[in-house]
Each structure stands twice: as structure tokens, then as C-alpha cells.
């Protein structure tokens, strides 16, 4: 069995928390294995002044880590699953997906508390097209401001850039010990989460059997089933670009329920739908729901989104 593992990680506080968390779990389960971390800077870390939708989206935070894996420089990488493209490079695979934390979006609004109490025209920061569209759907009067940076940077910008509120993932804030900054967890009726939000993904080389065997215990079956449906949905609708789509699946008693929404950037055009079925059909359920929603008007909405992008 492999005695040394190298985890590649970005240097942000959240990425380091995630990498240290997985390293500790591995060493607790396999005391004979030594885990070390290697910091790798990604394109997404370097480019902080341009909206993600205009520079390539999710792959910006994974490409350099994946190249390091393929070259043998590192053995695995730990990602927020929501940051991962649905298509992985040849030779890599998702070895494990951890138990999902709260998948929701958090409002941080120290003065006003909730989205309903924000004043007309309030300035809300987010870098996500998905959040932007859903916030504008619920509150068309809000002024949505571009907000890039790591979690701690975004929290600082709440104070320094004259924002009334920002929206971040609940899981990220909780993992960093900043759950007390959350003033409201947005309901899924207001803001449906991103694909995979709240789950950690461990990516490895596909043929590395020793590493795959070491990591198998980290895989949570129900979370994997849920995100399989979500990622299958996104694979059909995404087209390789960041799109304003919310998707969330839950699993109970071998039944999977999947909810999704496709929106225009201003939130005024919406197609929403849901499906339930056997967990064994997770991928097919995601594909079927996506195709149905595209035919119901989602394709035209996304065509306009692509033109604007």
C-alpha cells in the first residue's frame, strides 16, 4: 500500500481547510500513511478583476491541479464540487464525494438581516450568474454587484465596498468557522443551489488503484447519487460556459427528487421543473429533466444568455 500521499491544493483559507480536513481523515483511517500538502496557484486565483462568466468559469480553479496530477507531481486534489466542470480530463476521475454539508446559499447582511428586509435598490455582492439571476427574480429592485475573491476577501469587501449584503455558500462559511456571519439561509424557493454545492470532491488519477483504495472510505453513497443527477442535468444544459442554472437533488428511501431552474440573467424569464425516480436512475433522471426543460423554453433562455456572455 502507498505510504505517502501528496494533496494538491489552492492556497485560499477554504481550500486549505478542505485539504487539511481530508488529510486528517485519511491519516486517522490509515495511520501508516503520511499525507503532505503542495500549494498550487490556479488561473482563477490569479485573475480576480474579471467576472468568471467572461473568463471561462469553473475550470479556472482546477486545471493546474489536474495537470499536476497527470504529471505525477501530486496524488490527489480536494475541490468544492460546485467548482468542478462536469467533464474531467482523460485519465482523471472522482475517487470520492464526501457527505454533503448544507447545500444552501447564505445572505450576509449585518444591518438588515434578511433578503425581505433589504431596502429598495440595496447593493448585493456576488460573482455567480446563478445567484444574480435568482436574486433578481425574487427582488428585481436589487442592485447586484460583481464580487470576486476568496471567502475572507468577500467578507472584507462587504465593509469596504459599501455593500448592503453579500451571498456566499453556507458550507464555506461554516467550514471556516464564520457561520455566525450568516444572517439568513436563503430558501430554495428564493435561490436554488449550484450543482454539487456543499460536497467535497476528491479527484485522482483513474488508474492509480492504491490511491483509489485508500480513498474509498470517504465516499458517501447518497451524496454521490444526488450529485450524479445534478451533474448529469448540467452536462446537458451547460455547453461549457457558466450559466444561470440552479439544481438540487435529495435522496430518501432509494428515491431521488431533483429540482431545477433555468433563468435569464435578469431573472425575468424562468423555466422550473422537478422529477422523482429511483436512485439507480440518477444520471438518466438528470438528463431527462434537462431535456424537458430545454424544450419548455430553457434552450431559448440559454441562447440569449450565451449571446450576452
Between 64 and 45, the higher pLDDT residue: 64
Closest among 190, 239, 203, 298 to 53, alpha carbons compared:
239
Residue tagged active-site, from 75, 83, 105, 208: 83
Residues 162 and 78 in one domain: no
The percentage of the chain sitting over the pLDDT mark of 70, rounded to a whole number, equals: 93
What confidence tier does 3 reach under pLDDT thresholds 50, 70, 90? confident
Say how far apart CA 84 and CA 234 lie, in whole Å.
11
Please say whether the beta carbons of 300 and 246 come within 8 A: no
Average pLDDT over residues 186-200: 97
Give, rounded to a whole angstrom, the gap between the first and last alpha carbons of the chain. 48
Per-residue model confidence as pLDDT tens digits over 95-138: 999 999 999 999 999 999 999 999 999 999 998 999 999 999 99
Please say whether the beta carbons of 62 and 85 come within 8 A: yes
In a domain, 192, yes or no: no
Backbone dihedral angles phi then psi of residue 242, each to the nearest 5 degrees:
-70, 130
Please say whether the beta carbons of 170 and 182 come within 8 A: yes
- To the query of whether residue 83 is one of the catalytic residues in this protein, the response is yes
Residue 157 domain boundaries: 105-185
pLDDT at 50: 53
In a domain, 193, yes or no: no
Please say whether the beta carbons of 275 and 239 come within 8 A: no
pLDDT at 83: 87
Say how far apart CA 258 and CA 274 lie, in whole Å.
5
In a domain, 245, yes or no: yes
Say how far apart CA 78 and CA 120 lie, in whole Å.
40
**Residues contacting residue 290 through CB under 8 Å, at least 6 positions apart:** 232, 233, 234, 235, 236, 237, 260, 298
Residues 37 and 63 in one domain: yes
Residues 243 and 281 in one domain: yes
**Residues contacting residue 70 through CB under 8 Å, at least 6 positions apart:** 89, 91, 92, 205
Please say whether the beta carbons of 185 and 118 come within 8 A: no
Please say whether the beta carbons of 136 and 114 come within 8 A: no
Please say whether the beta carbons of 129 and 53 come within 8 A: yes
Residues 9 and 40 in one domain: yes
DSSP letter at 252 equals E
* 3-state SS, residue 53: helix
pLDDT at 41: 87
pLDDT above 60: residue 278? yes
Rounded to whole angstroms, the maximal C-alpha distance in the chain is 60
Residues 166 and 206 in one domain: no
Per-residue model confidence as pLDDT tens digits over 69-100: 999 999 999 999 998 889 999 999 999 999 99
Rg, the chain, Cα only: 19
Residue 13's CATH number: 3.40.190.10
Residues 83 and 169 in one domain: no
Residues 9 and 93 in one domain: yes
Residues 145 and 75 in one domain: no
Residues 180 and 296 in one domain: no
Residues 33 and 161 in one domain: no
Residues 79 and 203 in one domain: yes
Per-residue model confidence as pLDDT tens digits over 4-22: 999 999 989 999 999 999 9
Residues 94 and 210 in one domain: yes
Amino acid at each position: 500500500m502507498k505510504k505517502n500521499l501528496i494533496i494538491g491544493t489552492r492556497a485560499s483559507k477554504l481550500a486549505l481547510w478542505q485539504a487539511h480536513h481530508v488529510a486528517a481523515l485519511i491519516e486517522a483511517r490509515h495511520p501508516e500513511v503520511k499525507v503532505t500538502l503542495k500549494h498550487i496557484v490556479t488561473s482563477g486565483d490569479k485573475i480576480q478583476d474579471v467576472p468568471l462568466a467572461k473568463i471561462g468559469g469553473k475550470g479556472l480553479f482546477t486545471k493546474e491541479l489536474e495537470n499536476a496530477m497527470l504529471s505525477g507531481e501530486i496524488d490527489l486534489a480536494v475541490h468544492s464540487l460546485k467548482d468542478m466542470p462536469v467533464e474531467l480530463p482523460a485519465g482523471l476521475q472522482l475517487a470520492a464525494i464526501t457527505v454533503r454539508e448544507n447545500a444552501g446559499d447564505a445572505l450576509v447582511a449585518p444591518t438588515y438581516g434578511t433578503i425581505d428586509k433589504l431596502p429598495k435598490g440595496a447593493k448585493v455582492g456576488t460573482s455567480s450568474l446563478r445567484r444574480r439571476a435568482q436574486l433578481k427574480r425574487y427582488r428585481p429592485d436589487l442592485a447586484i454587484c460583481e464580487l470576486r475573491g476568496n471567502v475572507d476577501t468577500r467578507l472584507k469587501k462587504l465593509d469596504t465596498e459599501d455593500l448592503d449584503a453579500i451571498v456566499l455558500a453556507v458550507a464555506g462559511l461554516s467550514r471556516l468557522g464564520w457561520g455566525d456571519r450568516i444572517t439568513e439561509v436563503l430558501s430554495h424557493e428564493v435561490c436554488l443551489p449550484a450543482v454539487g454545492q456543499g460536497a467535497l470532491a476528491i479527484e485522482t488519477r483513474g488508474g492509480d488503484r492504491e490511491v483509489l483504495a485508500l480513498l474509498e472510505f470517504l465516499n458517501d453513497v447518497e451524496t454521490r447519487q444526488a450529485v450524479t443527477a445534478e451533474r448529469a442535468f448540467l452536462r446537458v444544459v451547460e455547453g461549457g460556459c457558466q450559466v444561470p442554472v440552479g439544481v438540487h437533488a435529495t435522496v430518501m428511501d432509494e428515491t431521488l427528487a431533483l429540482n431545477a431552474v433555468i433563468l435569464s440573467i435578469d431573472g425575468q424569464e424562468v423555466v422550473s421543473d422537478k422529477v422523482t425516480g429511483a436512485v439507480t436512475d440518477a444520471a438518466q433522471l438528470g438528463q431527462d429533466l434537462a431535456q424537458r426543460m430545454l424544450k419548455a423554453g430553457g434552450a431559448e433562455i440559454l441562447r440569449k444568455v450565451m449571446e450576452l456572455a
